[in-house]
Chains A and B, each alone.
Chain A
Amino acid sequence: MENIYCPSLLKIQDLTWETPDTTSFRLTFNDNSEREEFFSLYKVGQFGEFSAFGHGESTFCVASPPTRKDYIECTFRAVGRNTKALQALNEGDTIGFRGPYGNSFPIDDWKGKNILFIAGGIALPPLRAVILNVLDRRSEFADVTIVYGARTVSDLVYKMELQEWEARNDVNIVTTVDPGGETEDWTGKIGFVPTVLDEVAPSNENTIALICGPPIMIKFTFPVLDKLGFSKNQIFTTLENRMKCGLGKCGRCNVGGTYVCKDGPVFRADVLAELPAEY
């Protein structure tokens, strides 16, 4: 019988420092059949368990899209034991990975629609996979708008990609930093994400909104979306309940009777509103 807890081995092909405490890995599978198996299952929005051997496993979303099949990427902040150990590794080193787990964003249902991405701080990674996936399949979708904010300029992740997206004429991107977080050469907006979203005022018509960020940002963004006429079934977000197995066994991630590792991490806002406030 297969050992569901046994990870695949992946090599760190590229390591990028996004901010002073946040790193991105581009990872390649040591075993090609495991890569093929992964991509036969992987849908955008899913997550995995990433491990530095000797330190444990951490749940990160897969930050690269299923349309790029040579590698997977993840972006994580060093906050505890395993994330610090992962960050201490170098290019060429091996890590463990289990996944893909959980549900996904139903982007095939969104063909022909406008897509609005709203992200704050380190929460861009879960949306970045969707952004890249949508851009890789650009002709299938209508307008693409990205509103992304961080506390300070140095807290913005994927700076290279933000510039690439800005350079495209088929993406409308607005970046912002909290007041006081700007630098002299900052050309983006200054203000909190909900305020900036209110200014940008994207149309709710034929639009799907995806929102990921710290709880406080989400709390203040929902009223703005409401004001802009978005109904809850147009809005998607993700939950980050603590996880261990990712497989529905360890009994840790549930919100009411819903297992975030199996029925999540992606939730439509109207479905989320039905769940008890246990996240």
Chain B
Amino acid sequence: MALSIHSDDFQTLLDSLREAGYRCVGPARDGTITKFKPIEQAGDLFLDEILTTVSPKEFFLAEHEAILSYRMKGKSDIELTTPSKEEYAPPTLVFGCRPCDAAGPDIVKSVMTWDYDDRFFLDRADSTVIAAIACVEADEACFCTSVELAPDSQTGADILLIPSSNSTGDTQEYSVTAITEKGRKLIDSTKGWKDGNPERASAIDEVKSNLKPSFDPAKVREWLDNGFDHEWWNTATLSCIGCGTCTYTCPTCHCFDIVDEGGQSEGVRVKNWDSCMMSLFTLHTSGHNPRPLKSNRFRQRIMHKFKYYPDLFERILCTGCGRCQRHCPVDMALKGLLEQIGRLAAETPDQVAAG
């Protein structure tokens, strides 16, 4: 049976989520930025933006999380405790993210299950339901259609809300599709959903047709195969200041650091977000650095996303959300750089490590 939900019923949904034992996180203002925050009042949801400043990745890969606590017992014995799933992975609904953000965890899952399972990621993914809302707007930084996604793609989402033509200034009706069993279960155990199949807003298809793919990731990957030593990297990355904003706001960047916090007798071992754009990332204690230059690090980021990850897992490590471009302080435009690579690839079809 076709389902729908009206924004007037969001409060009913939120109340019933709480009763059903879910916390709901959704786009909300946070000072000068927007990010995913726990939502109890429908009025706190901020769904008008194309994309929040920060992606909801922190609900899968915490920015900072304890992975272990240790405690000295007696003179030389140590007790280790792993936090329980209940502590770090409460049942959660990520409500109202865009399809590009829904795709993020689905893509990152490949590396988190690569031979060894990262329980912190997987437990969270298991207890989190993603309800994405299709896009009725895009900006010049968006490029999901170039990376095999779309303004209404279902990848990674458990529930997809499609805005309908039934909207006024501040109210909106959506048609609702349960994509996974998990999504279906959440809908069955909460309120606010209704029968009905409202007409899809034409804006979605306008966005879709206006957002033509601007590069071919297969061609980019082919160029990268031989492009490691190309001089293009040096000029293309000149303006980068190595701040790492791109990696922190990105829904697919997942590199982390492991450090101890605490003293010798008691403390926690934590995982923190890290960034390949930092020179310390690869620095040896000896002072030797395999990636001493900004251009080396920028190359790593593009290579990782568009060659290494696809080589390993047949997935592009990018959802085309465009955050890295929107929030870059010096306007390094990933989309533009990929277009440049696309052109380089076209100019030199048999290019072999030129430059």
Do these two chains interact?
yes
Which chain A residues have a beta carbon within 8 Å of chain B's beta carbons? 1-7, 9, 11, 51-57, 79-80, 83, 92-94, 96, 215, 240-242, 244-245, 247-252, 254-257, 262, 276, 278-279
| B311 with A276: CB separation less than 8 A | no
Which chain B residues have a beta carbon within 8 Å of chain A's beta carbons? 67-68, 70, 72, 75-78, 80, 82, 85, 111-112, 114-119, 122-123, 228-229, 254-260, 262-265, 267, 269, 271, 274, 276, 281-286, 288, 290-291, 296, 300, 303-304, 307-308, 311-312
Closest to B253 in A: A251
Q: How far is it, in angstroms, between the C-alpha of A83 and the C-alpha of B286 when the chains are bound?
A: 13
Among A2, A55, A80, A279, which residue has its beta carbon within 8 angstroms of that of B290? A279
| B257 with A53: CB separation less than 8 A | no
Q: How far is it, in angstroms, between the C-alpha of A96 and the C-alpha of B332 when the chains are bound?
A: 42
Chain A contacts of B112 at CB under 8 A?
Answer: 249
Interchain residue pairs A-B with the least CB separation, the first 3: A251-B255, A1-B119, A257-B308
| B284 with A242: CB separation less than 8 A | yes
Main SS of the interface on chain A?
loop
Chain A contacts of B303 at CB under 8 A?
Answer: 256-257
| A251 with B276: CB separation less than 8 A | yes
Chain A contacts of B257 at CB under 8 A?
Answer: 244, 250
| A262 with B258: CB separation less than 8 A | no
25 pairs, A vs B, C-beta closer than 8 Å: A3-B82, A3-B119, A4-B117, A5-B271, A9-B78, A53-B72, A54-B263, A96-B80, A242-B282, A242-B283, A244-B256, A245-B258, A247-B115, A247-B116, A248-B115, A249-B116, A249-B118, A250-B255, A251-B255, A252-B274, A252-B276, A252-B281, A257-B311, A257-B312, A262-B115
- Known A1-B85, A53-B70; 14 more pairs at CB < 8 Å: A5-B269, A6-B67, A51-B269, A53-B260, A56-B260, A96-B78, A242-B283, A247-B115, A248-B111, A249-B116, A251-B274, A252-B276, A256-B308, A278-B296
Chain B contacts of A248 at CB under 8 A?
Answer: 111, 114-116
| A54 with B262: CB separation less than 8 A | yes
Asked if A54 meets B264 with Cβ closer than 8 Å, knowing A2-B117, A4-B118, the reply is yes
Chain B contacts of A215 at CB under 8 A?
Answer: 288
